[in-house]
């Protein structure tokens, strides 16, 4: 009797495996980071995956990679760790170089015709292309623009957002408030919205007419007047005009609480996703803030822009299914859903032309700011290491030594140029 029971159990289990096996073959693993509100993001992906499953019968198993560990996760994946079939990635160049032709991001040139590449912003496509290979769908933009407190501006007699660096200095001086003991109560200016010091330098350097490297990603090009102008601007805002907080260059700095509390009046390069966050998380701020296009530097008004892309991972046995899934996501309606859930600008003009991206003044501004977009990705595998905003990072150390330690600028730039070239030669 016992033997019969055991046999029945084994057969039942086997049968269940057999019935689930085909479903397993028709499923793909898909990882993303979280954007905006985690619940909304998860719900949006669930809606998309369910609709896709209903349409194709392919199940998409979605997993979230927390931002706090995503870099380490992708580093591991790029070296041969357990990888999903397809995923939301960034730092395409570093991860591709690390993985070589064995692991990490996988070029999908053969499937390029399945994607409406002509419908994307050209700049966004750069973020999913490396060495001429096409890696996937750029799906989120990260455009930055000026953000300022309209109430503090009005109080200080500043009637509109600064149009150029001189006006930035003027407005920041007017909006900086000091207490009786000389302590600053409100800083007129903050370079960026998080302590990512290198991200702050990038738009200023571009605005001054500089580029970090040659188009082929092999030669460092930072020892020039544009870099001197950008660093002089940063240095002077902190040390000469004293309108920017030197503490902002340290790790624990958080601009958002300071902006909300009225301790920072203007942010030169703020993430556009803040518009969504300020609306939903800080309704008390309604009517007290506004976005504006970046102020122009001596050469242009370039704005920091990045993008994440959805791509396939080497080692996946379900490349075609993944490509179909990504092609499905790249449809305008689905791109809009992703954009709505994430609060990030879309990578297709058609999506940016929808009502969703014009129903608030700040959205109109960030859509306009896309015209100033300059990608933060550069065609060199070591760029992720060069641009790291950590002590020891080449650009970070250069900025820190000039702005905070007030050391010789020419020497700092020259040294950074040499170190950066060493990295590009890696």
Partner 1 sequence: MNEKNIFCYVMVAPALAITIVLGVYPMIDTMLISFQSYDLLTLQNEGTRWIGLDNYREILANEKFLQTISQTVIFTVLAVGISVAMGLFLAQIVNAEFRGRSVLRTIILSPWFVPPVVASAIWLWLLETNTSPINSILLDAGLIERKIRFLTDSDTIGPFSIPMLSIVAVRCWNGLPIIIIFLLAGLQSIPKSLYEAAEMDGGGVWAKFRYVTLPMLQPVLMVLFALLFLGGFGHFEMNYIMTGGGPRNLTNVLAVWTYQEGFQFLRYGKAAAAGGIVLVMCSIISVFYLWAQSKDNRS
Residues near partner 1, by CB under 8 A: 71-72, 75, 78-79, 94, 97-102, 181, 183, 245-247, 249-254, 257-258, 261, 263, 381-382, 384-385, 388, 390-393, 404-405, 426
> Which secondary structure element, helix H or strand E, spans residue 145, and what is its range?
strand 136-149
Torsion of CA 70, 75, 79, 81, to 10 degrees: -20
Is the torsion defined by CA of 316, 318, 320, 325 positive or negative? negative
DSSP bridge partners of 142: 306
CA–CA gap between residue 95 and residue 98 (Å, rounded): 5
* CA-wise closest residue to 308 among 274, 347, 354, 366: 347
Minimal distance in Å, beta carbon 347 to partner 1?
27
Minimal distance in Å, beta carbon 210 to partner 1?
23
CA–CA gap between residue 369 and residue 123 (Å, rounded): 13
Terminal alpha carbon distance of the chain: 70
Q: Of the two residues 71 and 114, which places its CB atom closer to partner 1 in the complex?
A: 71
Minimal distance in Å, beta carbon 103 to partner 1?
9
- Helix, strand and coil percent figures for the chain, each rounded to 5: 50, 20, 30
Q: Of the two residues 283 and 392, which places its CB atom closer to partner 1 in the complex?
A: 392
Task: Please say whether the beta carbons of 390 and 196 come within 8 A.
Answer: no
CA–CA gap between residue 36 and residue 279 (Å, rounded): 12
Task: Please say whether the beta carbons of 334 and 354 come within 8 A.
Answer: no
Q: Of the two residues 70 and 321, which places its CB atom closer to partner 1 in the complex?
A: 70
Minimal distance in Å, beta carbon 393 to partner 1?
7
Q: Of the two residues 51 and 75, which places its CB atom closer to partner 1 in the complex?
A: 75
Q: Of the two residues 183 and 359, which places its CB atom closer to partner 1 in the complex?
A: 183
Q: Of the two residues 52 and 74, which places its CB atom closer to partner 1 in the complex?
A: 74
Minimal distance in Å, beta carbon 91 to partner 1?
11
Q: Of the two residues 128 and 389, which places its CB atom closer to partner 1 in the complex?
A: 389
Q: Of the two residues 126 and 388, which places its CB atom closer to partner 1 in the complex?
A: 388
Q: What are phi and psi of 128, to 5 degrees?
A: -125, 25
Minimal distance in Å, beta carbon 253 to partner 1?
8
User: 215 CB contacts (<8 Å, ≥6 apart)?
Assistant: 379
Minimal distance in Å, beta carbon 72 to partner 1?
6
**What is the CB-side half-sphere exposure of residue 174 using CA atoms within 13 A?**
21
For residue 403, with 0-12 CB atoms within 10 Å meaning exposed, 13-18 middle and 19 or more buried, which class applies? Answer: buried
Minimal distance in Å, beta carbon 389 to partner 1?
9
Q: Of the two residues 190 and 272, which places its CB atom closer to partner 1 in the complex?
A: 190
CA–CA gap between residue 208 and residue 182 (Å, rounded): 33
CA–CA gap between residue 296 and residue 319 (Å, rounded): 44
CB 31: neighbour CB atoms within 10 A? 21
Minimal distance in Å, beta carbon 390 to partner 1?
5
């Amino acid at each position: 009797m016992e033997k019969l029971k055991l046999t029945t159990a084994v057969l039942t289990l086997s049968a269940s495996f057999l019935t689930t096996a085909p479903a397993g073959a028709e499923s793909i693993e898909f990882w993303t980071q979280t954007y905006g509100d985690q619940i909304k993001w998860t719900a949006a992906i669930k809606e998309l995956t369910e609709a896709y499953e209903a349409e194709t019968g392919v199940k998409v198993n979605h997993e979230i990679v927390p931002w706090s560990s995503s870099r380490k996760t992708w580093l591991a994946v790029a070296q041969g760790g357990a990888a999903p079939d397809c995923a939301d990635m960034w730092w395409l160049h570093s991860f591709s170089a690390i993985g070589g032709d064995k692991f990490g991001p996988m070029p999908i040139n053969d499937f390029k015709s399945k994607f409406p590449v002509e419908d994307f912003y050209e700049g966004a496509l750069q973020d999913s292309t490396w060495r001429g290979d096409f890696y996937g769908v750029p799906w989120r933009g990260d455009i930055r623009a000026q953000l300022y407190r309209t109430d503090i501006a009005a109080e200080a007699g500043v009637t509109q957002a600064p149009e150029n660096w001189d006006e930035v200095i003027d407005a920041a001086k007017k909006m900086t408030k000091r207490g009786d003991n000389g302590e600053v109560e409100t800083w007129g200016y903050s370079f960026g919205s998080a302590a990512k010091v290198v991200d702050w330098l990038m738009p200023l350097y571009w605005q001054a007419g500089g580029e970090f490297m040659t188009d082929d990603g092999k030669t460092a090009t930072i020892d020039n007047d544009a870099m001197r102008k950008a660093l002089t601007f940063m240095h002077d805002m902190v040390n000469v005009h004293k309108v920017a907080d030197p503490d902002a260059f340290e790790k624990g700095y958080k601009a958002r609480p300071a902006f909300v509390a009225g301790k920072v009046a203007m942010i030169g390069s703020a993430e556009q996703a803040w518009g969504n966050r300020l609306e939903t998380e800080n309704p008390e701020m309604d009517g007290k803030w506004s976005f504006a296009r970046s102020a122009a530097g001596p050469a242009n008004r370039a704005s920091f822009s990045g993008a994440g892309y959805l791509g396939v991972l080497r080692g996946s046995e379900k490349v075609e299914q993944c490509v179909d899934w990504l092609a499905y996501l790249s449809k305008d309606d689905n791109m809009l859903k992703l954009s709505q859930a994430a609060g990030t600008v879309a990578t297709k003009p058609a999506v940016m032309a929808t009502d969703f991206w014009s129903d608030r003044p700040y959205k109109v501004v960030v859509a306009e700011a896309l015209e100033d977009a300059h990608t933060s990705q550069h065609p060199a595998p070591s760029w992720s290491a060069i641009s790291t905003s950590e002590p020891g990072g080449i650009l970070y150390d250069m900025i820190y030594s000039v702005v905070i330690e007030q050391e010789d600028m020419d020497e700092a730039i020259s040294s950074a140029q040499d170190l950066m070239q060493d990295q590009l030669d890696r």
